[in-house]
Amino acid sequence: MVALAQPRTPSALWTRNFSLYFTARSIALLGDGMLPVAVALAVGGAGFGPTGVGLVLAAFMVPFALLILFGGVFADRFTARKMMIGADLARVVTQSVVAVALFSGDPSLWLLVAMSAIAGAAAAMFQPGVNSMVRRVASDPQRANATLRVADAIAQLAGPALSAILVAAISAGVVYAVNAATFAVSAVCLLALRLGAEPVVARGASMLRNLKEGWCEFRSRAWMWGVISIFSAMAMLTFAPLYPLGSTLVTDRLGQTAYGWVMSAMGAGTILGGLIAMRYKPARPLRAGAVALVGFALMPLGYAVHAPFGGLVALHILGGASWAFWSVMWSTSVQTQVAPEVLNRVTAYEVAGSVGSIPIGQALAGPMAALVGAEAVLGFGTAVGLACCLAMLAVPAIRGLRRVGLGALAGEGS
């Protein structure tokens, strides 16, 4: 019996499975959006100062970076959904422990660091499964990715404000308790999904062999490793200095309120980019995404030339829209061009390559700004960003990659 293709109508996206997955991700993203403010206020308010805040944040990123590749292997071995549910439950525990410690009024710095490290390890187990889950719950991955991107943008807009209100009105412990609840909701929604059998790798294969297979699949796709190689430079030199240096330049010149509005403009732009990506489906998604990414590369230029408030807002709307559109094009390409049985491991390599250079750039931003000036660092970042966009367009495997549907996987890279 021939399976009928699902209708490509707007209503086809909102199936039971996608609605549950959307709820899981949206609620968890809102909780994540609340957390950075809570960490800064809670750790700083407990008397540990900026050093303590830095330790807690670093404690999350280090295990995430170290374990993300293993998260991809485990997702391919035990299924993405099981790993994601387990990661959610682990973070319910860590955030609840911190909430109780904050409610008690005397949290230990090392307790906060330890719980943050466990949460980072759990996130490393969760993240590789995101791509494979999208293609299992949605017949139109691009629209699904765009919808999730809009939800992410709304969460990033609402999360910090809600967190600040809760901390001021009650305590930081409430934010951690809410964050724990969001992960619990996510786990329940993921558990309620009705999915068929998922492809898994042979249990008898060694971990090293699984990692090697994932690397070979990643390396075999010139468009993928090409983008990651180029993007790592953009992440380190364009994206990483943007917030630590840009925030200082704007607040010193225009005030904290102005910087808040500028960041909100970026969030609004991200929503706009997600909405555009829902409708516009280019035949060559990475070419269109690289062209759009020029808007993001221009964002640091506003800081470098001391643009007026209106100019900064306009650049951040453009930058947010550009980033969102690129993100949807990239995620959809990975999800539809890689075979299901290796997608989680390939995603792990892709994520590791994408975020690995950001801490380096963040660490270098301050010393370089002290040496040559923040404006020069950000101006150089714009030049690097534009060069990276041109480099992606110059690589035939990247600009020529064609959009495919789930029924026409292009497993081999060119």
HEC readout, the chain:
CCCCCCCCCHHHHCCHHHHHHHHHHHHHHHHHHHHHHHHHHHHHHHHHHHHHHHHHHHHHHHHHHHHHHHHHHHHHHHCHHHHHHHHHHHHHHHHHHHHHHHHHCCCCHHHHHHHHHHHHHHHHHHCCHHHHHHHHHCCCHHHHHHHHHHHHHHHHHHHHHHHHHHHHHCCHHHHHHHHHHHHHHHHHHHHCCCCCCCCCCCCCCCHHHHHHHHHHHHHCCHHHHHHHHHHHHHHHHHHCCHHHHHHHHHHHHHCHHHHHHHHHHHHHHHHHHHHHHHHCCCCCHHHHHHHHCHHHHCHHHHHHCCCCHHHHHHHHHHHHHHHHHHHHHHHHHHHHHCCHHHHHHHHHHHHHHHHCCHHHHHHHHHHHHHHHCHHHHHHHHHHHHHHHHHHHHHCHHHHCCCCCCCCCCCCCCC
Of the candidates 182, 183, 71, the residue with the CA atom closest to the CA atom of residue 127:
71
Tell me the HSE value of 280 on the side-chain side, using a 13 A CA sphere. 18
pTM exceeding 0.85: no
Distance CA 222, CA 397 (A): 6
Of the candidates 293, 303, 313, the residue with the CA atom closest to the CA atom of residue 242:
303
The predicted structure's pLDDT at residue 294 = 95
**CA dihedral sign, ordered 129, 227, 26, 103:** positive
The predicted structure's pLDDT at residue 350 = 85
- pLDDT tens for the chain, 414 residues: list them: 333 334 344 447 888 999 999 999 988 888 877 777 677 667 766 677 656 766 777 788 788 888 888 888 888 888 889 999 999 999 999 999 989 988 887 788 888 889 989 999 999 999 888 888 888 888 888 999 899 988 888 887 777 777 777 777 777 788 889 889 999 999 999 999 988 766 666 666 677 888 888 888 888 899 999 999 998 899 888 888 887 788 778 878 888 677 778 878 888 898 999 999 988 999 999 999 999 999 999 999 998 999 999 999 999 999 999 999 999 999 999 988 888 888 888 888 888 888 777 777 877 877 888 899 889 999 999 999 999 999 999 999 999 999 876 554 443 333
Burial class (CB in 10 A: 0-12, 13-18, 19+), 203: exposed
The predicted structure's pLDDT at residue 409 = 45
The predicted structure's pLDDT at residue 245 = 82
